[in-house]
Amino acid sequence: MRRLVIAIAAAVLALAGCGGEAIVPPGQGGHGHGATSAAPPVPAASARFNDADVTFVQMMVDHLQLGISLSQVALAKATKQEAKDLAGAIDATQREELSMLKSWLKLWGKPETGGADLHAAHGGQPLLDDKVIDGTKEKSGAEFDLTFLNLMAGHQGAAVEMALTEKKDGSNPETMAYAERVATTRQGQISQMLKVISEQ
Amino acid sequence: MKLTRKAALVMAAVPVIVFVTPVGSASAHGYVSSPPSRQAQCASGVVPNCGGPQWEPQSAEGNKGLVTCSGEDRQDFAVLNDDSKPWQVTSTGTSLTMTWTFTARHRTRDYEYFIGNTRVHFVDGGNAAPVDPVRHTINLNGFSGRQKLRAVWNIADTVKAFYSCVDINIGGTGGNPTPPPTTTTTTSPPVGGTWAPNTYYAVGAQVTYGGSSYRCLQAHTSLTGWEPPNAASLWQKI
């Protein structure tokens, strides 16, 4: 029982932003394996999950990939440094999340694909697709920055909605902790983007 | 619940039925991001303690034709109707450009802009999905002083509309918004200091967190949820 509690606590600590409450005690950080610079182990999701967990993770896989694609364009084309930095950080963190979510789907025996169709089933055409992302490549300067910032703010806003749904309907503790972190970090990103937009 | 969800998925696979799918949970959402609307100010933190609009600025939804800032579908958005909140006011001339942020694409009937009950601007949506960036330059001739500009996105595929109110002062020095408040300015970190949110970190910056030291791998402005142990792609433990 104690081991279970520790395992759950460790998973939550490793995963959750939890509104700034994710305090990691000294010596019990995500690393803790004696390595000085190795990447922390990818948190495993437990085997207990429901349809909402699977739907959320599959939709997030699609959503993360689209966000990475848009960030890649911004890394090449953004002129405002804040926009470029944010694109770099979104690109890096979402790649990290993507590999974690894919490992969960593998563990659960669920396909990685299908997220785009699920988006459609959950309320219309997603904001981003390959065509929209390609379209941004034709813009430049302030016009590109404005387009990127509004698209990414909207894209991450959709992630917040998905995360809030998972927090309500999900059952897998690691997935729900991840949803909490998605809501918090995307809200923080949107806050940063709206400030830059309002300076235009 | 599970049956309903599955049924919804099956139904949504049939295009004809999508059209009559109940709109309550549809994520067909949008808001005015510039000049900063009331919900944009909630989401950016300029106005704190907003509740729902902080997390979903895009969800001020309601039936078409309402005189509202909140849309009225969700009670936790009523804060947007509260004129006594410290909303940031944008000084503008008689020409003002509005920019929209969308979280999903839906066919658009039109956009309407009101001051009081007077419609000051109308843009036909052509029954097409919006293409970013969506910007409208509106003419405020005949109005002056402090006003509440109400922007409405009437979508074509549901009975709903999305509402955004922007507080403006017409006859100011131009179309530029008031400067962002100093409370949101990011700060430079002390060398080797403790990690903090809303702080700019350059590549190579070092911080301590939870008793460990970390080196920044990717320049970014930190935020809650990106604490070093939670973001190995941004921070390397040293």
pLDDT in tens, A68-84: 999 999 999 999 999 99
pLDDT in tens, A11-27: 443 443 333 333 333 33
Poorest-pLDDT segment among A29-33, B7-11, B161-165, B196-200:
A29-33
pLDDT value of residue A18: 32
- The whole-number average pLDDT for the span B97-113 is 94
pLDDT value of residue A126: 79
CB within 8 A of B31, min separation 6: which ones? B37, B39, B40, B57, B58, B60, B100, B101, B162, B164
Average pLDDT, chain A: 81
Structural domain tally of chain A? 1
In angstroms, what separates the C-alpha of A104 from chain B's closest C-alpha? 17
**pLDDT tens by residue, chain A, 200 residues:** 444 444 444 444 344 333 333 333 333 333 333 334 445 556 677 778 999 999 999 999 999 999 999 999 999 999 999 999 999 999 999 999 999 999 999 999 999 987 666 666 655 677 899 999 999 999 999 999 999 999 999 999 999 999 999 999 999 999 999 999 999 999 999 999 999 999 86
CB pairs under 8 A between A and B: 216
Query: Does residue A70 lie within any of the structural domains?
Result: yes
Q: What is the ipTM of this complex?
A: 0.84
Contacts of B211 in chain A (CB under 8 A): 25-27, 29
Contacts of A26 in chain B (CB under 8 A): 210-212
Please indicate whether, in this complex, the C-beta atoms of B36 and A198 are within 8 angstroms of each other: yes
Q: Which of B12, B57, B237 lies closest to A31 in CB terms?
A: B237
pLDDT in tens, A29-51: 333 333 344 455 566 777 789 99
Query: Does residue A192 lie within any of the structural domains?
Result: yes
| CATH number, residue A184 | 1.20.1260.10
Query: Does residue A174 lie within any of the structural domains?
Result: yes
Q: Is B161 on the interface with A (CB under 8 A)?
A: no
Domain hosting residue A133, numbered range: 48-198
The secondary structure of chain B, three-state, reads CHHHHHHHHHHHCCHHHHCCCCCCCCCCCEEEEECCCHHHHHHHCCCCCCCHHHHCHHHCEEECCCCCCCCCCCHHHHHHHCCCCCCCCEEECCEEEEEEEECEECCEEEEEEEECCEEEEEEEEEEECCCCCEEEEEECCCCCEEEEEEEEEEECCCCEEEEEEEEEEECCCCCCCCCCCHHHCCECCCCCCECCCCEEECCCCEEEECCEEEEECCCEECCCCCCHHHCCCCEEEC
Please indicate whether, in this complex, the C-beta atoms of A14 and B221 are within 8 angstroms of each other: no
- B residues 64-83 near A, CB within 8 Å? none
| Structural domains of chain B, with CATH | 26-170 (2.70.50.50), 186-237 (2.10.10.20)
